[in-house]
Amino acid sequence: MTSAATPTSPTTPAATGYAGDVSPEQAWAWVQSGEAELVDVRTDAERAWVGFVPGAHAVAWKQWPGMAMNPGFDAGVQALGAGGKKLVLLCRSGVRSIAAAQRATELGLQAYNILEGFEGDPDDQAHRGVKGGWRFRGLPWQQN
């Protein structure tokens, strides 16, 4: 577990209350090896309109409209993490997935935040998808 968020550590020093932050590439490698389950914590609307990762488990952290907490989040991640499998959590930019990873950790699960999220940070023109993120890194995704 040496290739992740930094070359020397599987987690970044800023990770508080969860297992750590990993790059999109490291998360995908863990998923492909069967070591982790990919959990997309974005809203149903985001996945439908922006795109999704084939095979990812859709367990929204908050739900649109209104961004109310998903009452099924706890049960959803507990089912996926049963047996000790790592969970790698993906949101739009890697912010909501931190809160979701913290909650999953409170539930006794090994949860990681995927840095940069699905779309990455906005550029100087406030456009996402051109400055980091799952899609930008060329990892598998689809759009309806």
Global confidence as pTM:
0.87
Distances from the Cα of 132 to the Cαs of 3, 111, 116, 127, in angstroms?
A: 18, 21, 6, 11
The pLDDT score that the predictor gives to residue 51 is 95
pLDDT band at 6 (very low <50, low <70, confident <90, very high): very low
The per-residue DSSP string of 37-93 comes to EEEE-S-HHHHHHH-B-TT-EE--SEETTTTEE-TTHHHHHHHHHTTS-EEEEE-SS
CB atoms under 10 Å from CB of 122, counted, come to: 13
Beta-strand relationship, 68-69 and 62-63? antiparallel
Q: Is 38 exposed, middle or buried (0-12, 13-18, 19+ CB in 10 A)?
A: buried
User: Residues 80-97: pLDDT tens digits?
Assistant: 999 999 999 999 998 899
Domain ranges of the chain: 20-114
pLDDT band, residue 9 (cuts 50/70/90): very low
Look over the chain and give the mean of its residue pLDDT values, rounded to a whole number. 89
The model's pLDDT over 98-117, given as tens digits with 9 standing for 90+, comes to 999 999 999 999 999 999 99
Average pLDDT in the 127-133 region? 87
Contact indicator for 14, 108 with CB cutoff of 8 Å: no
Is residue 24 pLDDT above 70, yes or no? Answer: yes
pLDDT above 70 covers a percentage of the chain that reads 90
Q: Rg of the Cα trace of the chain? A: 14
What's the CATH number for 20-114? 3.40.250.10
Give the chain's count of helices (H) and strands (E): 4, 7
